[in-house]
Structure 1
């Protein structure tokens, strides 16, 4: 895993967005970040852990507070709105392929609550599923227990300086980081498998289930038979009642009962028909008072139309003759100068003959001399009379049908029997119908009960079949379970031996790695000749040159701190994980020689990526010069005592040496 960039927005003392590029360079693994006490160095370490682990992060400033209180207090006081975020970009090589991750964790103060949001991007794409299950996902990439061995500050180094207090760290590291816990987990899983085999008695339960179902089937069969008998009894009574009802209804119909029931309806229909007939008669009278009587004078009207046509044509011919006379005179005047006398004579003869022929059509006696509107009315009279004739025939047909309907209704009403003559039959019919309806309801209830028992029998039969199948399977699996228990015992014994050997092997490797690291960091190279770790208590024992144990009290505070660093370094070397080391204020209690040893022999080789958080008193000018060949990037955290905010500047150094990587 390599960290590439972290962005803090309104987190702690960091107001607004503040980003640090953390990528190392070839042969230069160190990212040096300097700052005075209280500038926010530890806040950076907390931000990395918070982005990865959320509420499970072991942040130094949280203490006993709840996670929500910690988030609320982490929002910069001057931030508006009251919200903050931490974004971490890193890469992990999985099965030979490098994948880029970006984890964005944000939260805001919303009254009494502080809702948190988490978004995870993989290779630049937002992955909702991974975002939802990030707590489990990050455990596969970098377990929290493992991360605690690579993200540490001076306080953790101080706590590990005591060999007795280092025992839990050694045990946790060996179990989780070196894979010993996996063997023990396998033994635990096998034990759980054995217990499940021992307590499983499905075939016995199946036998009890079969007996119970058989008893229920017997009860069901009795209930089904009772329901069937009930249906047969009701059907018999219902058949008799329906027969009696049919007899009463036949007698009722014979006595005119249907007409009696429909009397009010028939009277209403007759009243409606009578009113419609009266309205039709009024409409017919209105039609008869209009132009309709003119149909009796069809011949006279036809002769009148012919006379009007002749007079109209004669008048039109007279108007044409007058126009032709004017035209002929104008034509003769035009031709008189050009035509010869013979030609003029022939033209004149033709024109007179044409006028005489036209004048013969005007010889008509003028009797009517009808106006234009009168002519229009006489011409449209046929259409009017035709429409009125059709309307009259329609009305007459409808009136005839209504009279027939009235006669039919009168006949039906005449056949309606008196109420006192049929009252007894009405009562008999009502009682018979009620008995039929009651029996039909009883029959439906009995049929539903029978159907319910049928469905219950089908379900019980299916359950019995499943129980028999389970019983047979249980009998067949009994021997298999016994074999599982036997083989699990053997496997657990083997895993126990394997775990002991694996633990011993890792402990031996860890002893060598820690001892080698300690000797590289110590200036008293002959002080410690050997180092041993107990495989049960995980306590660390130092052996001096005389083969005697060295009491930790003989070591100075600085030497014990170097021992803690050696322990962490040795664990990282044995694990072989390509994980970044984040080290906060590691040189607080060391003298100059020990500091120089750490700078020369540990920091450049602790990991492929080392985030070193230092004060001005730890990495001074001299040590900075020692570190420069291994430094990839440098930053300084500058705190403003008036605004209580921190900003990030490139470069490192407070004394004579100001170095910008």
Structure 2
């Protein structure tokens, strides 16, 4: 099957008629469609499924809505609902070595309050009414819906397949539907139905008597199960009553302080720890009080001491300067130029003398404490120490207050612990209630086990009844033709069973090799997975390392699990012969750059004869686009107008010549 063209008219975000040429050629199997999030990439994937499968399509945007509501809401908001929307898909299929061209057009519009839907199928240019009316059955012959879900997938579906349980169901579904195993199973089922129809063609009295006896036994077993179920209900009710009684005793026990009584040792230990912590905090406060901290009570005296130290330092500095100034002034007068007049010389000498006298008066102190020269530095260090100790003292005072409150709470809890003699009766009553409930629950458990045994017995009787009915078929066949049908149907079923097992084993073996090869081709850590097995019964995957030790899928990173899911789909496509197109939406979400390159280089060009790749600009960036270019048949960009909320399709991709500009 090859897709040739898809046209969307007022579908979803696509305004007007938007068409994409999907045709490919050998060596260039990829159609790259770019679009930012919300531009309509997933809508395009939904459109392909919707035009093919109608109400059975597994569209991502449908959710729990009815098919009618989904179609109504799929009409573009800017379009006329009376004109509606339309999707047209053109593809070709080879039937009996002849290529047939299909054009499937699904349209719908709203007429009044009703929604009307139309489907037209054109084959080789001619409208086919029979195919149009029976398209739901015909499309299953071309591309079954279960098979399509393995080739039309998005990033979220790939991520869900990374779950081992989900992968098992996919493998089972794929092997049975895609590789023909389900056809064998359907043939065996049809033969069983044929045998049953023959079994009902005649009767034999002796066999009927046996069947009736077994039916009576089966009914007796059913009645015994009903009685046992009723008894079990009574035991359950008694358990509920005992539980209520225990809850009542528990409440009385709690009101009497029973919970505190049970926690007495814990409370005592907690009270002791709090008391020790309070003692340590108070010891720290006493240690601070033994230092310079009490000087904080003398702020005025400390201020005056700092002032006195400043004055004494200034006086000392002035005394040192006066002697030096006398020599300097004499030197200055001696070096005055001869041009200076006597009057000017006398005025300068007077000013210098006045300055010295002023400095000499500053050096005179009314009172001196003979403080050391670094008294100011010592007082600054004292201020820093007092600030630090004061901050620590405030913290300790706050902590000790909080600890005191906790100690009071602990004392109150200990005071609330009841005396052992006062609570003794409640303890005994509580223990008795617990024991009684345990006995009732044990009785209920045994009753459940007996009920399960009865159900198993009823199942065995039912199986015997079924065998008796099968015996009736062989016994009561009145004509040779019916006996021949039953005999050969049984042989055919046995042959089909063996053939189905062999076919399943053959496909599973091929699938194991294909998936493992695909996974190794995509993995960055080439030596991580050495072997891969698929259980033919449970269809679950088992991974092993080079030593044959099993590897828990949980050890794989999110990106590696995604690659495993892609490898599973790729392996299925290889085993099926790559005859169907693959539509891949947002495939690179959780992958690092190396894994993305592996997918671009190794997977996308080889995923099938035709690959529709829906990507954002961050997934297939400029570097990956250059790697993908040799395999590209067409490139498109979905351009979304944020003002009208509509999308148009334009040729080209980001970073390519002629590509549309996307803001």
| 8 A Cα contact 2:578 2:607, kept in partner | no
Which residue is 2:580 aligned to? 579
Kindly state the Cα deviation for residue 114 of structure 1 after the two structures are TM-superposed.
1.1
What is the deviation of 1:11? 0.1
Name the SS for the 2:19 alignment partner.
Answer: strand
Structure-2 change in CA distance of 1:659 and 1:497 (3 Å):
farther
For residues 42 and 523 of structure 1, the distance between their equivalents in structure 2, rounded to whole angstroms, comes to: 29
Q: Quote the residue 2:25 is aligned against.
A: 25
Give the match for residue 48 of structure 1.
48
2:582–2:610 CA contact under 8 A, matched in 1: yes
Provide the secondary structure at the position in 2 that maps to 1:102. strand
Would the alpha carbon gap of residues 92 and 540 (structure 1) be closer, same or farther in structure 2, given more than 3 Å must change? same
In the TM superposition, what are the counterparts of 1:254-403 in structure 2 within 5 Å? Answer: none
**Offset of residue 514 of structure 1:** 0.3
Aligned residue number for residue 552 of structure 1: 553
For residue 198 of structure 1, report the CA deviation from its aligned partner: 1.1
- Give the Cα separation in 1 of the matches to 2:203 and 2:129: 41
User: In the alignment, what sits opposite 1:606?
Assistant: 607
Map Cα deviations across residues 594-644 of structure 1 (whole Å, 9 max, x no partner).
000000000000011100000010000000000000000000000000000
- TM superposition shift of 1:482: 1.5
Q: Return the alpha-carbon distance in structure 1 between the equivalents of residues 68 and 99 of structure 2.
A: 35
Assess if the C-alpha contact under 8 Å between 2:32 and 2:634 holds in 1.
Answer: yes
Match of 2:140 in 1: 139
Once the two structures are TM-superposed, the CA of residue 536 in structure 1 deviates from its matched residue by: 1.0
Measure the CA separation in 1 of the matches of 2:632 and 2:181.
36
The CA deviation at 1:657 is 10
1:81 Cα deviation from its structure 2 partner: 4.4
Alignment check: 8 A CA contact 1:5 1:22 kept:
yes
Does the C-alpha gap of structure 1 residues 80 and 133 become closer, same or farther in structure 2, counting only changes over 3 Å? Answer: same
Q: Is the 8 A contact 2:7 2:17 kept in 1?
A: yes
Q: Flag the 1:496–1:490 CA change in 2: closer, same or farther, 3 A.
A: same
Given that residues 529 and 543 in structure 2 are in contact (C-alpha distance below 8 angstroms), is that contact kept between their aligned partners in structure 1?
Answer: yes
Equivalent in the alignment of 1:154 = 155
What is the number of residues matched between the two proteins?
Answer: 390
State the 1:587 CA deviation. 0.2
In the alignment, what sits opposite 1:74?
74
| Distance change in 2, residues 1:50/1:476 (3 Å) | closer
Once the two structures are superposed, the pairs formed by residues 116-515 of structure 1 within 5 Å of their partners are: 116-201=117-202, 478-515=479-516
SS at match of 2:76: coil
Partner of 2:341: none
1:510-521 equivalent positions in 2, closer than 5 A: 510-521=511-522
Per-residue Cα deviation, 1:18-74 (whole angstroms, up to 9, x for no partner): 100000123100000000000000010000000100000000000010000000000
- Residue 407 of structure 1 corresponds to which residue in structure 2? none
**CA, structure 1 residues 657+164, in 2 after alignment: closer, same or farther (shift >3 Å)?**
farther
1:107 maps to 2:108: yes
**What RMSD over aligned residues (CA atoms) do the two structures have, in Å?**
2.0
Structure 2 distance, partners of 1:625, 1:144, is 35
1:6 is displaced (CA, Å) by: 0.3
The CA deviation string for residues 453-506 of structure 1, in whole angstroms up to 9 with x for no partner, is xxxxxxxxxxxxxxxxxxxxxx99612211221221222112111111111111
CA contact (8 A) 2:39 2:638 kept: yes
485-494 or 11-20, which deviates more: 485-494
Q: How far apart, CA to CA, are the structure 2 residues paired with 1:530 and 1:657?
A: 47
* SS at structure 1 position matched to 2:15: strand
Shift in CA distance, 81/488, structure 1 to aligned 2, threshold 3 Å: closer
Structure 2 residue aligned with 1:525: 526
Matched, 1:36 2:36: yes
**Counterparts of 1:151 and 1:583 in 2: how far apart (Å)?**
6
Q: Describe the shift of the 1:203–1:132 C-alpha distance in structure 2 as closer, same or farther (beyond 3 A).
A: farther
Aligned to 1:273: none
Give the conservation status (yes or no) of the 8 Å contact 2:202–2:478: no
Secondary structure of the structure 2 residue equivalent to 1:115: strand
Aligned partners of 2:637 and 2:660 also within 8 Å: no
Structure 1 residue 654: deviation in Å?
5.2
Taking structure 1 as the reference length, the TM-score comes to 0.58
SS of corresponding position for 1:14: coil
Question: CA 1:485/1:58 → structure 2, altered by over 3 Å: closer, same or farther?
Answer: same
Q: What's 2:316 paired with?
A: none
Q: Which moved more, 1:170-179 or 1:476-485?
A: 476-485
Mark the structure with the bigger radius of gyration.
1
Mapped partners of 2:603, 2:26: distance in 1: 17
* C-alpha deviation, 1:201, in angstroms: 3.0
Contact 1:102 1:122 in 2 (8 A): yes
Aligned residue for 1:15, secondary structure, equals: coil
For residue 7 of structure 1, what is the aligned residue in structure 2?
7
Asked if the contact 2:578–2:608 (Cα under 8 Å) also holds between the matched residues in 1, the reply is: no
2:531–2:543: 8 Å Cα contact kept in structure 1?
A: yes
Aligned-partner Cα distance in 1 for 2:170–2:504: 15
Asked if residue 94 in structure 1 is aligned to residue 95 in structure 2, the reply is yes
Q: Shift of the alpha carbon at 1:528? A: 0.5
Aligned residue number for residue 337 of structure 2: none
The superposition leaves residues 567-595 of structure 1 with CA deviations (integer Å, 9 ceiling, x where unpaired) of: 00000110114110000000011000000
Shift of 1:523: 1.2
- Distance of aligned partners of 1:11 and 1:106 in 2 relative to their CA distance in 1, 3 Å threshold: same
Q: Secondary structure, in 3 states, of the residue corresponding to 1:100?
A: strand
- Tell me the SS of whatever aligns to 2:140: helix
The equivalent residue for 2:415 is: none
